[in-house]
Amino acid sequence: MYRKTGQHSPQPTECNRPVCLSILPTTPKGKSNLSLLPSVGKFTQRVEMEGFKSLLTCRGLVLLDLGYNNFTGELPSSFKSLQALKGLSLSGTSLNNLPSALVTLQHCNNLHTLFLSASFKDEVMPGNIDLQFESLMALLISNSHLKGSIKSWLSSGFPNLRVLDLSGNRLSGTIPSWIGEFPLLHYLDLSNNSFTGVVPQSLTELRSLRDLTSADFSSFLTKLSERSLTVYSLQGISVPTLDLSNNELTGPIWPSFGNLTELSILRMRNNSLSGSIPRSISRLSRLWVLDLSYSNLSGDIPESLKELHLLSIFNVSYNKLSGKVPQGGQLDTFTSSSY
């Protein structure tokens, strides 16, 4: 375990058993106050990551939450010694050199949840690097203002990826078609970027959004519920989601999106999509959020959408739609502002 001494780095005692460790700052507004075992103090001053190398001698460390501290510098390469580590949060820090951090963390062979959001600010998306994260299920690098495009290293080194969140960056270029080839991906958030081009039709081939049993979804939820991961706010990323909102995407909403029958949330608002709303969307019986607003869609609103009995959030406003507003089912619960 660890004990806090002085004002800076925690000092190791015996640490061979499974340990969940967090170094919490003063709770920022809007961030829940996490309850952890053990908690080793609060650090709000500027602290170099190098000062915490003593943590890396803890062979039993399974969860490490260093998020929302003002750590600076690069991630020490000695992090690769954390072979028992399953969950890591480095979100909300002042760390830099994302490529170096990823190269180091790929050596944590049991790592399956990695939070890097709101860190590595204003860097360029890593280019040609060879990464192998064989066990990683969830990768979140959002709200970091990363520039560049999505690179091919994501396509081959993450065979078990279920969750990919790159939202809130400055990524540009087209969305690669190979994203639709992830066999287990059930949560994809690319919103609030500058992606252009047509929405890849391959996204409608995401196997786990067609059949969650093919992704061993129950196993994923079990891992999220393990005590080692309950400190993270993971409920949202357990919901089957496709979010492409607030980009510069063009082209149609493919009728084959109706094949993603496990999808719960579909957001494509604030793009330049054209064509009609596919009637096949009504086959998404598990859908409870549908937002296609602020685009260039035309034609009528399919009456068959009334068959979406779980729909609780619906918006197709600010398009070029025509015809009567359909009635029936959940559609009767929405105000005129949704149309």
Give the number of other Cβ atoms within 10 Å of residue 177's Cβ.
14
Cα–Cα distance measured from residue 60 to residue 27, given in angstroms and rounded to the nearest whole number:
27
Matching residue, tokens 């399953």:
86
Matching residue, tokens 């375990």:
1
DSSP 100-131: HHHHHHTT-TT--EEE-TT-STTPBPP-S---
> Structure tokens of 79?
């992090």
Per the document, the length of the chain is: 339
> Structure tokens of 254?
């493919």
Cα–Cα distance measured from residue 325 to residue 22, given in angstroms and rounded to the nearest whole number:
52
Cα–Cα distance measured from residue 116 to residue 210, given in angstroms and rounded to the nearest whole number:
29
Which whole-number Å values give the CA distances from 73 to 110, 140, 209, in the listed order? 25, 20, 39
Give the model confidence (pLDDT) of 94-144 as tens digits: 999 999 999 999 999 999 999 999 999 999 999 989 999 999 999 999 999
What residue spans define the domains of the chain?
A: 2-251
Q: What are phi and psi of 291, to 5 degrees?
A: -130, 110
For 2-251, CATH gives 3.80.10.10
> Structure tokens of 65?
């939450």
Give the model confidence (pLDDT) of 281-321 as tens digits: 999 999 999 999 999 999 999 999 999 999 999 999 999 99
Please measure the distance between the N-terminal and C-terminal CA atoms of the chain and give it in whole angstroms: 57
**According to the model, what pLDDT value does residue 2 have?**
38
Residue among 299, 305, 294 at smallest CA distance from 333: 305
Cα–Cα distance measured from residue 109 to residue 120, given in angstroms and rounded to the nearest whole number:
23
- Pairing type for strands 113-115 and 138-140 reads parallel
10-residue stretch averages of pLDDT, the chain, 339 residues long: 40 56 53 33 49 72 88 91 92 96 96 95 94 95 97 94 97 98 96 98 96 62 50 67 98 98 97 98 97 98 97 98 94 95
Q: Are 244 and 293 in contact (CB under 8 A)?
A: no
- Pairing type for strands 187-189 and 241-243 reads parallel
